[in-house]
Amino acid sequence: MKSRNVTTFLTKALQDQHEPQGRIVVLTGARQTGKTTFARTLLPDYQFLPIEDPVLRQSYARLTAAQWKELYPKAILDEVQKEPQLVEGLKSVYDQWPEPRYILTGSSQLLLTDKLRESLAGRCTIVELYPLTLPELETESWQKPVQPSFFQ
């Protein structure tokens, strides 16, 4: 796993208890930019929920806000655009309790969905994950900081 420039920003947003937009982070980007790997590496203590699985998707869609808070207080919802109604449940959790934290990963078209855009308005931080930059490619591990580039 290569180190990413966005790591520091995202870590700070998630840890700031006084920043409500850090409670839900939407991680979008083109296919194969490493959204899932990045989220899972950065947040190993978060439960990983694959929304692509049709059986699991239906069971997640039936959860109440209280169940979300109890069962999944910190979770990564991967490919959330496959089930937009899940965002309504997360919105309810956000509005009722300050503790839960969620990372929603999905394609760049994720925020084009009207329902998602309206539900998350003012409730999330949106992070666009781009393909690796040259300074990121030069890192040898996740822990190695990315050196600033003159061209960035």
Give residue limits of the domains in the chain.
19-131
> pLDDT at position 60, please?
93
Q: Which two tokens stand for residue 4?
A: 């990413």
* pTM as predicted: 0.84
φ/ψ of 47, rounded to 5, equals -75, 140
Q: Is 119 exposed, middle or buried (0-12, 13-18, 19+ CB in 10 A)?
A: buried
CATH 3.40.50.300, applies to 19-131: yes
Residue 96: is its pLDDT beyond 60?
Answer: yes
Q: What are the start-end ranges of the H helices in 1-152? A: 7-15, 35-42, 54-61, 65-71, 86-96, 114-120, 134-137
Average pLDDT in the 84-99 region?
89
- Average pLDDT over the chain reads 83
Per residue in 6-53, pLDDT (tens digit) is 787 787 777 766 566 678 988 888 888 888 988 999 899 999 999 989
> pLDDT at position 115, please?
62
Residue 111: is its pLDDT beyond 80?
Answer: no
Per residue in 66-91, pLDDT (tens digit) is 999 999 999 999 998 888 888 888 99
Higher pLDDT, 53 or 114: 53
R_g over Cα of the chain: 16
